[in-house]
Amino acid sequence: MPQLTGRRLPLRRAAVRFSAFQRLLLLLAIFGPGVITGIVDDDATGIAGYSLAGAHYGYVLIWALIPVCVALIVSQEMGARMGVVTGKGLADLIRERFGVRITLLAMVTLLIANAATTIAEFAGVAAAADLFGISRFILVPVAALVVFAVVSFGTYRKVELVLLAVSLVSLSYVITGFMSQPHWGDVAQGAFVPKVHLTLPFLTLLIGLIGTTITPWQQFYVQSAMVDKGLSERDLKRARADVAVGSTLTNVIAFFIILTTAATLYVTGKPAETVTDIGQALEPLAGNFAARLFAIALLNASLMAMAILPLSTAYAICEAFGWERSVNRPVREAPFFFSLFGGLLVIGGAAVLIPGVPLLFLLFLPNVVGAILLPIILVLTLRLVNDRQVMGRFVNNRVQNVLAWATAVALVVLTVAYAVLALVELLS
């Protein structure tokens, strides 16, 4: 064997040709799927969910982010680990281990949750249109077409980098958070003294907070992202670090959104009832420009999720049922795939163009829907990840099982409590 280590030849080629901007994009490109998922997690539904929590209850709900962050790391790690170890997507594994009936249940669950979320992302676009002073009837169809084109022409990878770069605008919440001079004592109390009000609005916001942070689509998405990267057991450590960083990032941004809205909106005592109200939170930083800054953040967050959601839903469902799936095939060869992909985009776009539709409601709805449906996906995930025939020696350890089961059980308990409260309210 000749001396190979002595001289070091460049492996990465022609890096010299890149401009500074491209180098910034390359830096973003080294983010793993976990970090990207974490960033996309703060989508329009997230901004709405966290803002409402801060605007209505101040710092009180901050404590919830700690267990939610742990639960997010645990569930994302399970998905990443399954993808790395099995080389298969979640839909694929569900079909192979549980057969057609359970698969049908899981896919209907995913479809409902993702349809609600897709509509919400379109609501984000519509809200941004309002804030920019552009007609919804222009921006919404344009956004849908752009997403369709970007996805179909396979330029998504490049576009994703731009979207990720623009998502740095969410840092404006971090800056505003400090500028708005929050009562740090109250913040600490909110973070470390858990308080639960047994009222319908409080539970709605709490469930929504969990439901927007841990979602069914993320479980499917992070797993197939790991699979598509060709990661194997050798890369497990790195994949774990990746999802841990991504999940923490989601919650750090969430913390600052709650902090900012609490310090700017909650203190005024005015209830936040529209998307415009929420956008006022950025005023200490941006002044008159606050509405537009908020619109940029909202639009970008919506577009990122729109590029992922309809397509990954169509993929998962077609993968599970063995239908042709590829944007590169003629429509007639992959009818189910295109119906699902196109259908979600059309439904999402049409829903927010209905005159007088409450955008904030649409933005918040998937948080609750997702939280109610998530236990189904979590239980299936737990069954798979503890199956030695699937995972070999990479099955869950006890701590992981306890935390993941606790998440699923907590969600079910909250949902039941919520249903009971709603029923009581209805009857009285």
Give the interface with other proteins as residue ranges (CB under 8 A): 1-2, 4, 9-14, 17, 33, 86-89, 92, 95-96, 99-101, 104, 151, 153-154, 156-157, 221, 224-225, 227-232, 311-312, 315, 321-322, 325-328
CB-based contact 286:172 (threshold 8 Å): yes
SS3 content of the chain, % helix, strand, coil (to 5): 80, 0, 20
Cβ nearer to other proteins, comparing 220 with 256: 220
Is 4 or 354 the residue whose CB approaches other proteins more closely?
Answer: 4
Rounded Cα–Cα distance for residues 391 and 272 (Å): 47
Instruction: Give, rounded to a whole angstrom, the gap between the first and last alpha carbons of the chain.
Output: 84
Report the residue count for the chain: 428
Nearer to other proteins, 292 or 383 (CB): 383
- Asked if 37 and 160 touch (Cβ cutoff 8 Å), the reply is no
* CB nearer to other proteins: pick between 11 and 427: 11
Minimum distance of other proteins from residue 220's CB (angstroms):
10
What tokens were used for 50? 């966290």
In the block, residue with structure tokens 């070091």: 8
The token pair that represents 253 in the structure block: 């941004």
Q: Cα–Cα distance between 360 and 381 in angstroms, integer? A: 31
Nearer to other proteins, 223 or 261 (CB): 223
Contact 404, 78 (CB under 8 A): yes
Give the residue with the Cβ less far from other proteins, 104 or 357. 104
C-alpha span between 428 and 418 (Å, rounded): 15
Helices and strands counted in the chain (H then E) = 19, 0
Tokens 């600490």: give the residue.
Answer: 188
Tokens in use for 327?
């944007």
Identify the CA nearest to 130 among candidates 353, 364, 365.
353
Neighbours of 81 (CB within 10 A): 23
The packing angle between helices 65-86 and 90-132, to 10°, is 130
Backbone angles phi, psi at 68, to 5 degrees: -65, -40
CB of 382 to other proteins, least distance (A): 20
Which tokens hold the place of 294?
Answer: 């908020």
Measured distance CA(305)–CA(167) in Å, rounded = 12
